Amino acid sequence: MVGKVFKKARRDFMFRYGRRLRQMEHWLVAKLAIVLLSLLRLLPADSALNFADRVARRVGPKVGRHRVAVDNLRLAYPEKSDAEIEAIALDMWGNMARLAAEYIFLDALFDFDPNAAKPGRVEVRGIEHFVEIAGEKKPHILFTGHLGNFELLPVAAATFGMQITALFRPPNNPYLADYIHSTRRSSMGGLLPSSTGASFALAAILENGGNIGVLVDQKFTGGVETNFFGRLCQSNPVLGMLARHYDCDVYPARCVRLPGNRFRLEIEDKLTLPRTEGGSVDVEATTQLLADVVERWVREDPGQWMWFHKRWEISGRRRRKRGQAKQTSQDAQ
């Protein structure tokens, strides 16, 4: 009896100790990142972004996630040489460093003016879609992926009077998550963390005729099984479910990083969503369609996507086959 009590006490102590150790690690990492970003703020924007890119290309290959990125790239591009794979991975680290540094320079970077005589740092394609969505009194869904500086998309939307609330997955580091949230401009629209109840919050926005933005290229444990670069992965079906329930238009949007610290923001034509025989939106087929769109974008600019993400890891208490996911989505109607 005494032995069992001792073992339980020891487990409880180790659990609390491990949790506090993780908290301390998160705090130290966040503080270091904030200090580095504060130092970058002392430089002109272009100099800071170029410096961050150079440092990331040296440091990135030394971290554990670099191996994950290289392995994912080899499976996605079996025809490419080792040198080509490494070059894409280095581009990825440079892109991620620029993205982090750009948080502190968003005001300086976003210079788009629809009435300007000559183009600036930011160019926009699909202006007619921005204007149309902003002027329509009905709900819309926009989706994107972690490409370029995707945070510029809601800033561009605000330029045309479009209000949008974005669903996002916050960093695992809570201190970094708080810092990122605090640096976002008010003109970037609302933020809704991906957590229990998020789908109901998104539904409420659409119910009131609002617009939502969703990142669709991350692993979603227990989600619909889709194919991405020819490999099985799990994807969040919430966009398809909401599109079916509200029968609203769905637009692809992305940011493309251009040479010289410039950006191209695009809204493509609205998607024609696959339908069931009964005429409603097919949730699983729509989820696959979104994955296909993101794959097309990534193939065009592979160095601008986060290959270190464990996108193809299948996990969770249960693996929902497509038939199971379909039944679940029907029950949610």
CA distance 154 to 175: 23
The pLDDT value recorded for residue 327 is: 47
The CATH number given to whatever domain includes residue 227 is: 3.40.1130
Is residue 232 domain-resident?
A: yes
pLDDT tier for residue 10 given thresholds of 50, 70 and 90:
low
Exposed/middle/buried for residue 289 (C-beta within 10 Å: 0-12, 13-18, 19+): buried
Token couple for 255? 């940011």
Token couple for 169? 């997955």
pLDDT, tens digit, 9 for 90 and up, residues 112-165? 988 887 889 999 999 999 999 999 999 999 999 999 999 899 889 988 989 888
- Boundaries of domain holding 311: 114-331
Least confident interval from 171-180, 218-227, 297-306? 171-180
Do the bridges between strand 262-267 and strand 249-258 make them parallel or antiparallel, or are there none, so unpaired? antiparallel
CA distance 91 to 70: 12
Is residue 64 domain-resident?
A: yes
**169/127 same-domain check:** yes
**84/160 same-domain check:** no
The H or E element spanning position 254 is strand 249-258
Is residue 109 domain-resident?
A: no
Q: Is the dihedral of CA 18, 20, 23, 29 positive or negative?
A: negative
Residue 315 dihedral angles phi and psi, to the nearest 5°: -150, 180
Instruction: Indicate if the pLDDT at residue 274 is higher than 70.
Output: yes
**60/142 same-domain check:** no
**70/157 same-domain check:** no
Q: Over the Cα atoms of the chain, what is R_g?
A: 21
**79/131 same-domain check:** no
Instruction: Indicate if the pLDDT at residue 305 is higher than 60.
Output: yes
Is residue 146 domain-resident?
A: yes
Is residue 9 domain-resident?
A: yes
Is residue 242 domain-resident?
A: yes
**158/274 same-domain check:** yes
**73/125 same-domain check:** no
**Exposure on the CB side of residue 85, measured as CA atoms within 13 A:** 20
Instruction: Indicate if the pLDDT at residue 316 is higher than 70.
Output: no
**30/155 same-domain check:** no
Is residue 320 domain-resident?
A: yes
- Of the candidates 62, 78, 104, which is a domain's last residue? 104
Q: How far is CA 33 from CA 42, 176, 191, 221, 321, in A?
A: 15, 8, 22, 28, 40
CA distance 305 to 89: 9
Amino acid at 4: K
Amino acid at 139: P
The pLDDT value recorded for residue 39 is: 85
Three-class SS state of 45: helix
Least confident interval from 91-95, 246-250, 324-328? 324-328
- Of the candidates 53, 70, 104, which is a domain's last residue? 104
Do the bridges between strand 231-235 and strand 224-228 make them parallel or antiparallel, or are there none, so unpaired? antiparallel
Instruction: Indicate if the pLDDT at residue 326 is higher than 80.
Output: no
Token couple for 329? 């989505």
CA distance 256 to 146: 10
How many structural domains comprise the chain? 2
CA distance 71 to 102: 28
The answer to whether 262 and 123 are in contact (CB under 8 A) is: yes
Is residue 163 domain-resident?
A: yes
Instruction: Indicate if the pLDDT at residue 49 is higher than 50.
Output: yes
**151/14 same-domain check:** no
**307/280 same-domain check:** yes
- Of the candidates 79, 104, 129, which is a domain's last residue? 104
The answer to whether 261 and 121 are in contact (CB under 8 A) is: yes
The pLDDT value recorded for residue 62 is: 95
**127/85 same-domain check:** no
**13/66 same-domain check:** yes
CA angle 299, 106, 309 (to 5 degrees): 35
Query: Angle, nearest 10°, between helix axes 45-59 and 2-40?
Result: 140
